[in-house]
Amino acid sequence: MEYNVVTVSKLNTYIKEKFEEDEFLNNILVKGEISNFKHHYTGHMYFTLKDENSLIKCVMFKGYTDKLNFIPKDGMKVIILGTVSVFERDGVYQIYAKGMKQEGIGDLHAKYEELKAKLEKEGLFSEAHKKKIPFMPKCIGVLTSNTGAVIRDIINVATRRNPNVYIKLLPVPVQGAGAAEKIVKAIETMNEQKLADVIIIARGGGSLEDLWPFNEEIVARAIYASKLPIISAVGHETDFTISDFVSDLRAPTPSAAAELAVPRIEEIEQKLLTYKNRYKNALLKKLELINLRYQKCMASKVFKDPMQRINEQYMILDKFVKNLEYKIQSKLKDERTKMIKKVAKLDALSPLKTLTRGYTVTQYKGKVINSSKTLKLGDEIELTFSDGKNNAKIM
């Protein structure tokens, strides 16, 4: 058997022709993860598509890259439409990509928006339903993975703020199939057994797919139904999950959630001290005020010279008595004058005066006689003079 010797170029051309004859390879959809991504200045994109076990080189020429609605990057899971062919110069086969979309992502976004709108309409995000986070929880329940930075960050921040903090970790898977169900169960368990005063649901950053359990309807409803207040801290500050909207408080990061759940003990102790001082000062001030009032009272004249007021009253009394005496005297004098005048008047009218001038009053049997005809001979009459009486007989 004789072999035809061929050149490398001829071989590669041959192989290329074989590839191009194959219908399947000419129009293929491949899914995988992007790595070694390079966006060349010419506008072409060069990268490798891989899965757990294998990889293949890819190129996307400028004419196609313009149509992409996202910027590919390493680690992104994509589906590529293209042709598998051979690059003869290097002797490698690769995918000549014509189109590319992010795997699942479009669907997830749509699902997220749809569920968000639905739950919002139902009132699951309503502010009125949100429970108050206790100011000083005795026990903080944390639902997250028991490995990794999240629980460590929460413990570190919490113990820094309160060295005597009580944290209960109920470990749950935070991504992948079945995670949502486990998270729901954990929320229910915490509630049924009242294992904490507040719950932190936490997860580190990740892709939308990684965070997906926190966008599941069952998780949202479990959070809504929880009697224990829940702080949600899922992903980075820029990631918003449905859990964040429905929970009672959203923390931008797990560390921030610990800050929101645990008060700074130093501050509280300082506050308590301030209160005690305020009480003492207020009471001292009160005492001072009362003392001042007492001093003022004692300084008043009544207490300083009690007799003075009495003496003053005496003086007033004396004056009053004197006045009264004077008034009585003067009244007496008036009355006496009036009486003398009246007596004089009386004196002028008295018949005695007339008698002194030689007149007499004639009486017969006790009656005053003012006519000679009333008397007859022999009547005995009585004559009254100014200085006495005499009996006489009519002749």
Partner 1 sequence: MEEMNFEETMEKLEQIANTLEKGDLSLEESLVKFEEGMKLSKKCNEILENAEKKITILLSKEGELKEEEFKPEE
DSSP string, 227-285: SS-EEEEESSTT---HHHHHSSEE-SSHHHHHHHHS--HHHHHHHHHHHHHHHHHHHHH
Rounded (10°) CA dihedral 213, 219, 223, 227:
-130
How buried is 44 (Cβ within 10 angstroms: 0-12 exposed, 13-18 middle, 19+ buried)?
A: middle
Q: Which of 14, 70, 275, 359 binds partner 1 (CB under 8 A)?
A: 275
- CB of 262 vs partner 1, minimal distance in Å: 11
- 279 lies in the site for partner 1, by CB under 8 A: yes
CB 116 within 8 A of CB 245: yes
- CB of 259 vs partner 1, minimal distance in Å: 17
CB 160 within 8 A of CB 216: no
CB 43 within 8 A of CB 24: no
- 90 lies in the site for partner 1, by CB under 8 A: no
Q: Which of 77, 120, 171, 181 binds partner 1 (CB under 8 A)?
A: 171
Instruction: Mark the segment that binds partner 1 (CB under 8 A) among 64-72, 97-105, 225-233, 277-285.
Output: 277-285
- 135 lies in the site for partner 1, by CB under 8 A: yes
Rounded CA separation 341/293 (Å) = 68
Q: By C-beta, is 126 or 156 nearer to partner 1?
A: 156
Pick from 200, 228, 235, 197: which is nearest to 214 by CA? 235
Q: Which of 85, 94, 162, 253 binds partner 1 (CB under 8 A)?
A: 162
Of residues 191 through 220, those in contact with partner 1 by CB under 8 A are 193, 195
Pick from 127, 143, 152: which is nearest to 214 by CA? 143
Q: What pairs with residue 202 in β-bridges?
A: 233
- 300 lies in the site for partner 1, by CB under 8 A: no
- 223 lies in the site for partner 1, by CB under 8 A: no
Q: Which of 53, 147, 295, 391 binds partner 1 (CB under 8 A)?
A: 147
Task: Number of residues interacting with partner 1: please give it, by CB under 8 A.
Answer: 40
Q: By C-beta, is 7 or 164 nearer to partner 1?
A: 164
In the complex, which residues of this chain contact partner 1 (CB under 8 A)? Answer: 134-136, 138, 146-147, 151-152, 155, 159, 162-171, 189, 193, 195, 265, 268-269, 271-272, 275-276, 278-280, 282-283, 285-287, 289-290
